[in-house]
Structure 1
Amino acid sequence: MALLAWNVRGLGNKDTVRALKNICVKHKNGIVFLSETKQKRRYLEKIRMRMKMDNGFYVDPVGTAGGLALWWSNDVKMSILAYEKSFIDTVISINGEDEWFGTFIYAPSYDVEKQGFWERLGSLRDDVNAKWCIMGDTNTVASPNEKDGGSTFDHNNAKWFHDFMEKSYLMEIQSKGGTFTWSYQRSEKNVIREKLDRVLSSVEWNFLFPKAIAVIEIPIASDHTPIILLKNGLKKKARTEFKFESRWMLEEECLNIVQEEWAPTEQRNHRGTFRVKLRRTKVKLWKWNRENLQVNGLQGERKLFERMMIIENEEQGKG
């Protein structure tokens, strides 16, 4: 069972709701945490039922800012211990497993509020041996390599986060996928990217789930990427199934590969030609994806994001 944390930047957009549904179907999430929903619980309840989640808890936004939603299936036993506009603290047991504390956060973005937030969060657990997992938007760049573009890394901004991690004896769960979880484009050539969303855990929680890994999804429908926590790790597949990725359509090279392999030939065996072309196209696309979008992940991620922004700007210009 997977857990999802995502700063959706408003859940009133149909594209965001569609993206959320696709993520839930893909990962079979048993727990879904959404921050900055900007919606009242009456509307969010309708979305929850569409996602086929059995239970829900909400922290309403202040005006049109903020808002938290926490959904979970009946396979999850969950109790709400505390909450405020920036977090929901719970105790969780999944499918009868040992109980652990789960805290879902949307840390404040203003520096003047950060010290108080991390101190309040640290006061939730008196026992440093507690099984504790925290996931969500930390709104903090923890190190220089978690930032690309914009102003230089601010050590003072990260101080309260590091103090919290040290006093609470927490570590960050290993992640897989992109490097950054938030992007902002000021101009065509001025893109800022940072790692703000993450999963933290105590040593005791890691002993409980030693294979746990966080998956950073691709950016879609929000300036924050969804974070998926797989507490039992990635499942190994005996055979890799070929799947055409929708993001490939943003790459010109993908179109060139398809056009080249499906160009007219003089072969008479049309059925054989179809099979050969299909197989060759699959092989070439698989190799191209591995060599250009997976191995060169950072460059591929930057290129993908820039193309998405260009297309979005073009569509807005047409509107």
Structure 2
Amino acid sequence: MGQKMDKGGFWTPGPPDIMSIAWNCRGLANPRAVNFFKELVQQVRPSLIFLSEILGKKKKIEKVCRTIHFADCFVVESHGQGGGFALLWKNPGAVEIKGSCNHYIDFEVVCDQIGRWRYTGFYGCPERYRRYESWELLRGLADESNLPWCVVGDFNEMMFAHEKRGGKPHPRGLLDCFTKTVSDCGLMDMGFVGNEFIWERSRGQYKWIHERLDRGLAN
């Protein structure tokens, strides 16, 4: 079962002795964000970390990687004002990168206890009119391997109406498309412990909106 983080993210246990973090860090240029990240690593003690919206360059992530004493990292640099991903792993030789783009990093994990398994750190298109692109990517990834598979990240979409509070009801068609995609890929939600509604807008006002956009899926 996944455990939610207060500042927007998700961590989940994998096979024995493996813990992973997926966090939409919204940039690591701010020293406060870096300090929060270090504290999080000390608390959770993960073996794998997927960061989205790093808003920075590879050298910055490499420096952070050394600071937390991880073996290596793989970075998809941001372009312009947003985006960018990073994967950091603690044990040398534990990760094999299989593919990446501006919406995911797909890799295999070498685990002594159960053998190989697959992990995809995912970031869905934030624009509604491009949601179908996210689901096409996810379906394409599902066809590439028969390994045990975990997909974790910020999907920028919800599966059910109760995953939103405040504002107008979310379009039923968008909910159904995401739910069908998850089913078509043979995935299921791993659940969570903690605050369901990580994304919010207009906090403390009558237009206060909460949504669950982060989740962990597995086959």
> What pairs up with 1:1-319 in 2 under 5 angstroms?
1-74=18-91, 77-126=94-143, 130-185=147-202, 188-202=205-219
Q: Deviations over 1:83-109 (max 9, x none)?
A: 100001111123453211111001111
Residue 76 to residue 29, structure 1, CA distance change in 2 (3 Å): farther
**1:76 CA drift (Å):** 6.2
Contact 1:75–1:94 (CA under 8 A) maintained in structure 2: no
**1:20 CA drift (Å):** 0.8
Return 5+ residue gaps in structure 2 as ranges: 1-17
Contact 2:199–2:213 (CA under 8 A) maintained in structure 1: yes
Which position in structure 2 is the counterpart of 1:252?
A: none
How many residues align? The count is 202
Residue 71 to residue 128, structure 1, CA distance change in 2 (3 Å): closer
**1:112 CA drift (Å):** 2.2
Q: Which has the higher helix share?
A: 1
Q: Distance in 1 between matches of 2:115 and 2:76?
A: 27
**1:128 CA drift (Å):** 8.2
Q: Distance in 2 between matches of 1:189 and 1:111?
A: 24
Q: Which has the higher strand share?
A: 2
Which position in structure 1 is the counterpart of 2:6?
A: none
Q: Distance in 2 between matches of 1:150 and 1:24?
A: 35
| TM-score (normalizing by structure 2) | 0.86
- Root mean square deviation of aligned Cα: 1.8
> Which structure is higher in RCO with an 8 Å CA cutoff and minimum separation 6?
2
Q: Distance in 2 between matches of 1:129 and 1:54?
A: 27
Task: Give the aligned residue type for 2:44.
Answer: H
Q: Distance in 2 between matches of 1:166 and 1:72?
A: 29
Q: Distance in 2 between matches of 1:131 and 1:194?
A: 29
Task: Give the aligned residue type for 2:197.
Answer: F
Task: Give the aligned residue type for 2:162.
Answer: N
Secondary structure of the structure 1 residue equivalent to 2:63: helix
Contact 2:161–2:175 (CA under 8 A) maintained in structure 1: no
Q: Deviations over 1:173-205 (max 9, x none)?
A: 021111212122266343211110000000xxx
Residue 140 to residue 176, structure 1, CA distance change in 2 (3 Å): same
Residue 25 to residue 62, structure 1, CA distance change in 2 (3 Å): same
Greater Cα shift, 127-136 or 52-61: 127-136
| TM-score (normalizing by structure 1) | 0.60
Contact 2:72–2:92 (CA under 8 A) maintained in structure 1: no
% of aligned pairs identical?
29
Q: Distance in 2 between matches of 1:76 and 1:94?
A: 10
Contact 2:164–2:170 (CA under 8 A) maintained in structure 1: yes
Bigger Rg over Cα: 1
Task: Give the aligned residue type for 1:177.
Answer: G
Q: Deviations over 1:14-68 (max 9, x none)?
A: 1111111111100101101110010010111111111221110011111121000
**1:75 CA drift (Å):** 6.1
Q: Distance in 2 between matches of 1:133 and 1:76?
A: 19
Secondary structure of the structure 2 residue equivalent to 1:99: strand
Contact 1:75–1:95 (CA under 8 A) maintained in structure 2: no
Return 5+ residue gaps in structure 1 as ranges: 203-319
Q: Distance in 2 between matches of 1:170 and 1:4?
A: 19
